[in-house]
Chain A
C-alpha cells in the first residue's frame, strides 16, 4: 500500500471546527498584532503589500515626547572579528547585530534600540543620528523573514510595486541572491516629506528575505525630516548583504553583545 494512501486513510475522518477555528485564530492573531505594535507601528502603506517589509516604526512610549530625539549612544556595540559560530537569535542580539552593522558603515549616535524574535521572523529597529546634516535622527530597521510569499526568482520591481514607490531597481548578486532597492515617499505613517529607502536581499539559497529600511525621520520627530535617509544606498546595501543574517541564528558575538544592551521599551 502506498504511504500516501496510508496517511490519507489515517486522517480521513479528521475535520476541523471551522467557525471555531476562525474565531479563535482571529483572536490570537489580533493579540499577535497588538504585541507587534507594542514594539512597532506597522507602516500602513508598506504593510498592505506583498513585498514591502513590515516597517518598524517605533511608537512613542511613556519616556518619549513628541519632538524628542533620544539618539545619545556612541558605539553601543563593539565586537571583534566574527568566528563563524552561531547561536539562537535573541531580540537584543538582532539589535546588536544591526547597531554594529550600522556603526561599521557610518559615524553617528544611536538610540532607542528595539528587537523582536518570534516563530516566523526576527526584526530590529534603532534611531541613528549621523554626523553632519541637519534634522532628526532617522530610523534604521531590519526584517529577517523566510522567503515566502514573494514569488520566485528572478524577482522584479513589478512584484514590489505599491503606491508611492519610486526608483526601484533589481540586481543579481554574485552569490545568486537578488538585491532589490526602492524608495517610498510621503507615506501615510510619516507624512509629506518622509522618505523610506528599502534594500531587500532575496536569497533562495538561504530561504531568507532581508529587508533594511532607512528613514529620514522617526515617529517622535513630529513631521520633521532630514533631506535624505540617514544612510545612503551603498551603506544600507552593505548592511543587508552581510552573509550571516538569518531569522533564527546569529553570530555568537552579537548574541553575547546583546546581553549588555538596554533595549528601549516603547
Chain B
C-alpha cells in the first residue's frame, strides 16, 4: 500500500523548507480533513492548526523520517482531541444517501462525506487512515491510540454502517 502524500514528500524526502512541505502535502491534508470533519471551513481550520504545529516544531519535523506522516499524525491527533472535536459539526445524513448512485455523481460524493460524519470521530479517523491513506492497521492503531484489534473492529463496524447506505461499497 502506498500513500500519495507520502510519495510526494518522499520525492523530496527531506523538505528544504516549511513551504516545500506544505506545497507537497497541503492538498492531501485538506482532503483528509474534509473527510474527517465533513465541513470545508472546519477542515481548513484543522489543516491550518496542523501546519501551525508543524511550523512551531519545524526543526524537529524537518528531520523526521517521514515529515508527511508526521504532519498527518498531528492532524489526526488534533481532530481527535476533545477541543477540536467539539468544533466539528455532526451533520445529519441526507435523505438522498439511501441508495447507491453512479461513481462520480455529485449527489453520491456529497452523501458519502455526510455519511462519514455520522460515524463516531474515532471510527471516521480509522476509516480515513485505513482506506484513504491506505495505511496498515498497525500504523492506524499507532496514530489513533487504539489496539490493532480495536482498529479492525471499528473499521468493520463503520463499514457495515456505511453499507446500509452504499450497499456496493467494498473494502
Chain A interface residues (CB < 8 Å from chain B): 1-11, 14-16, 18, 21-22, 24-33, 36, 47-50, 54, 119-120, 146, 148-152, 207
Contact = CB atoms under 8 A, between A and B. Distances in A.
Contacts of B83: 119
A29 B30 contact: no
Contacts of A47: 59-60
Contact of B77 (A8, A22, A28, A120): A120
B131 A11 contact: no
Contact of A25 (B35, B48, B168): B48
Closest 8 CB pairs of A and B: A29-B55, A25-B51, A149-B64, A28-B52, A50-B63, A11-B31, A32-B56, A16-B26
A2 B168 CA distance: 8
B22 to A, nearest CB: 5
Chain B interface residue count: which class?
35 or more
A36 B31 CA distance: 30
A4 to B, nearest CB: 5
Nearest to A204: B142
Interface string B141-160: 01001000000000000010
Nearest to B84: A119
Contact of A16 (B27, B127, B134): B27
A103 B70 CA distance: 36
B127 to A, nearest CB: 7
A24 B48 contact: yes
B65 A7 contact: no
Contacts of B22: 18, 21-22, 25
Contact of A149 (B53, B55, B60): B60
Contacts of A10: 35, 109-110, 112-113
A25 B52 CA distance: 4
Contacts of B78: 119
Contacts of B103: 1, 5-6, 9
Contacts of A5: 103
A64 to B, nearest CB: 25
20 contacts: A2-B131, A3-B162, A4-B134, A6-B103, A11-B34, A11-B35, A18-B23, A24-B48, A25-B22, A25-B47, A25-B54, A29-B53, A30-B55, A119-B53, A119-B84, A120-B57, A120-B77, A146-B77, A148-B64, A149-B61
A204 B63 CA distance: 19
B52 A7 contact: no
Nearest to B29: A16
A229 B78 CA distance: 36
Nearest to A118: B53
Contacts of A151: 65
Contacts of A149: 60-61, 63-65, 70
A49 B23 CA distance: 23
Interface in B113-137: 113, 127-128, 131-132, 134
Contact of B47 (A21, A26, A32, A146): A21
B77 A119 contact: yes
